[in-house]
Chain A
């Protein structure tokens, strides 16, 4: 079965620290990849997406992600986190020609001021 795995369930960082959240998926064909963010009490918002082309994707608020096809990975990075980045982050994969998103379990990021 297709699945998405996020390595870290809960990450605590101090402001200005660098962030990397891991995401791996199990599907051998063409995929579209997404990172969504959910701020406390809010709905999910698109952070960035990869459909094709340059595997290094830049999103909003200084986030970026790198698609490494050989590793089935799409890790999220930010060089310097802020307190306002405290949120839950979801990796999602859309396999092949399906319209359905498969989500990872989510990673809660807590940034201490």
Chain B
């Protein structure tokens, strides 16, 4: 099925550990995004990639890095996880200016 695929779906990390969240889309969209969702705060943009080869900071980039590996894939890396990064992470893709398609999310717990 066409869409946005995120892996893993669940992850528990210890403080200080690192990990990479993977995201791939097969809709040939130019733009991809990483959001985090926290109760009562909606979705906040972490990083985005308007097109292959470009990445930019969003609203809450601290503690994260991203890589736009190719047009299909956009990964999010936590170099040293902190409890404040416990959240649900959503990847999305779109044509620039168009509607977003979201992945199913990664529920991350940092202990």
Contact = CB atoms under 8 A, between A and B. Distances in A.
B42 A105 contact: yes
Given A90-B43, A100-B58, A104-B42, A49 B99 contact: yes
B97 A103 contact: no
Contacts, number: 51
B99 A99 contact: no
B41 A105 contact: yes
B97 A101 contact: no
Interface stretch (B13-21, B69-77, B79-87, B100-108): B100-108
Contacts of A94: 97
Nearest to A49: B99
Contacts of B44: 103
**Chain A interface bracket (under 10, 10 to 19, 20 to 34, 35 or more):** 20 to 34
B105 A32 contact: no
A16 interface: no
A101 B42 contact: no
A70 interface: no
Contacts of B98: 99
Contact of A34 (B40, B42, B99): B99
Given A9-B40, A43-B102, 20 more contacts: A4-B42, A43-B90, A43-B103, A44-B90, A44-B100, A46-B99, A90-B42, A90-B43, A99-B31, A99-B50, A99-B97, A100-B33, A100-B58, A101-B33, A101-B43, A102-B45, A103-B44, A104-B42, A105-B42, A106-B42
23 contacts: A6-B42, A32-B97, A42-B104, A43-B103, A44-B100, A45-B102, A46-B99, A90-B42, A94-B97, A99-B31, A99-B48, A99-B97, A99-B98, A101-B43, A101-B45, A101-B100, A102-B45, A103-B43, A104-B42, A105-B40, A105-B41, A105-B42, A106-B42
Interface of A: 4, 6, 9, 32, 34, 36, 42-46, 49, 90, 94, 97, 99-106
3 tightest A-B contacts by CB? A103-B42, A103-B43, A99-B96
